[in-house]
Chains A and B, each alone.
Chain A
Amino acid sequence: MRIDCKHVWQFISAYIDGEVDAVLRAEIDRHLETCEICSAVLDSTRNVVVLVADQRVFELPAGFSERLHARLDREMELAGP
C-alpha cells in the first residue's frame, strides 16, 4: 500500500501520540523519508504540541494559589467542622 500526503495528514495527531499500528507507522515513515512537505508538517505540528505544553506558556496568575487557599480557609471556618 502506498499512501499519499492527505492520508498522512489524517494520522498526524495519532502518529505523534504513538497511536497508529505498526503497519501504518511503517507506511508513514516510508512516506516521510521522501516527502519534504509531510516531514515539515509533522515536525511543525510536533513542535507546536511541545511548545504549548511548556509550563511557561500557561502560568497561573501571580498569587492565585495563595488567594484560593485563603478563601478555602474562610469557607471552612464558616462551614464548621
Chain B
Amino acid sequence: MTAENPEFESDCIRRILAGERELFHDLIRPCERSIFFLLMSLLRNETEAEEAAQDTAVKVYLNLKNFRGDSQFRTWVLSIARNEGLSRLRKAGTRREDSLEAETDEQSGDYTPAILTSWREIPSETLEREELGTILRKAIYGLPVIYRNVVLLRDIEEMDVRETAAALGITEGSVKVRLHRARGLLQRDLAPQLKEFAPQRKSRFGWFKP
C-alpha cells in the first residue's frame, strides 16, 4: 500500500482536468489494491470483483471534476467502489446478509475466544505454504459482510479507523466494535487450525510469549 500524498493527488487532479489525462494512471495506482479487496469483500467472486474494480476506476476518472477534496482521495474512491459493489449485489438480487448501513452497533464486546493453554507464534515463512493462505482467506471470506469489510480495510489494507469509517459510511465507534468482533471470530475459527502450523519445538512452558 502506498501512503497517501494529498499534495501529489491535488496537483495530479488539477493537471488531469487540464488535459494531462495520462497522469490518471499514477493517481489511481496506489488505490488499486484497496478497491479490489473492498469489492472482493462485498462480492466474494474474483472475476466480478475485477470487473467492478475496472468500472469503479472508470467512474472515478469520469467524475474526477466532482472530487471536492474535503475527504482523502482514496476514501472518495472507496465510497465509489462500495456503491458499485452494492449496486451489483442489488442487480443480482442477492439478499443482503445484514444491513451494511447500520449506523450503530451494540457497544458490547462480549465474545468467547478459542481457549488455548498453549500457543506458539506461526512464523511468517510458513505463509509460503499455500494451505495456510487458503485457510486464512476462507476464514475472512466466511465472516459476516459487515465484519469482513472492516477487517479487509483495517487489518489487510491497513487503513486507519477514520478512513475506514468514511469509506464504509459508518461511525468510528462501529469500526472499532466490528473490528474487535471480527478479530474475535477469526481467533476462534483460526487459532485451533493454526496450531498445526506452529513449529514443532517444545518450549519448557509450552507456549510462546513475545
Query: Which positions in A face B, CB cutoff 8 Å?
Result: 6, 9-14, 16, 19, 36-37, 39-41, 43-54, 56-58, 60-61, 64-65, 67-69, 71-72, 75-76, 79, 81
B121 CB within 8 Å of chain A: yes
Q: List 21 A-B contacts (CB under 8 A).
A: A12-B183, A13-B180, A13-B184, A37-B115, A37-B116, A43-B121, A44-B116, A44-B190, A45-B184, A45-B186, A47-B121, A49-B183, A52-B155, A58-B37, A71-B57, A71-B58, A72-B24, A72-B54, A75-B62, A76-B21, A81-B19
How far in angstroms is the closest Cβ of chain A from B97? Answer: 20
Contact of A52 among B28, B117, B121, B186 (CB under 8 A): B186
- 9 extra A-B contacts, CB within 8 A, seeds A6-B110, A13-B176, A46-B210: A16-B183, A43-B207, A44-B116, A51-B136, A52-B136, A52-B155, A57-B137, A68-B32, A76-B24
B residues in contact with A71, CB < 8 Å: 54, 57-58
Q: Mark B50-82, 1 if CB is under 8 A from A, else 0.
A: 100110011001100000000000000000000
Residue B179 at the chain A interface, CB threshold 8 Å: yes
Listed from nearest, the 3 A-B pairs whose CB atoms lie closest are A13-B180, A40-B119, A44-B191
Which residue in chain B gives the minimum CB-CB distance to A39? B209
Do residues A40 and B207 form an inter-chain contact, with CB atoms below 8 A? yes
**Looking at chain B, what size class is its interface with the partner chain?**
35 or more
For residue B199, CB closer than 8 A to chain A, the reply is no
Write out the residue numbers on chain B whose beta carbons fall within 8 Å of the beta carbon of A64: 32, 36, 50, 53
Residues in chain A near residue B111, CB distance under 8 A: 9
Q: Which residue of A lies closest to B37 (CB)?
A: A58
Chain B residue contacts of A40, Cβ below 8 A: 115-119, 207
Measured CB to CB, the residues of B under 8 A from A are: 19, 21-22, 24-25, 28-29, 32-33, 36-37, 46, 50, 53-54, 57-58, 61-62, 109-119, 121-122, 124, 127-128, 132-133, 136-137, 140, 151-152, 155-156, 158, 176, 179-180, 183-184, 186-187, 190-191, 194, 207-210
CB contact under 8 A between A68 and B57, given known A44-B191, A47-B121, A48-B183: yes
Q: Is the contact region of chain B dominated by helix, strand, or loop, or is it mixed?
A: helix
B187, A41: Cβ atoms under 8 Å?
Answer: yes
For the complex, give the distance between the alpha carbons of A60 and B35 in Å.
Answer: 11
Q: Are A81 and B21 in contact (CB under 8 A)?
A: yes
Which residues of B lie under 8 Å from residue A47 when comparing CB positions?
A: 119, 121-122, 194
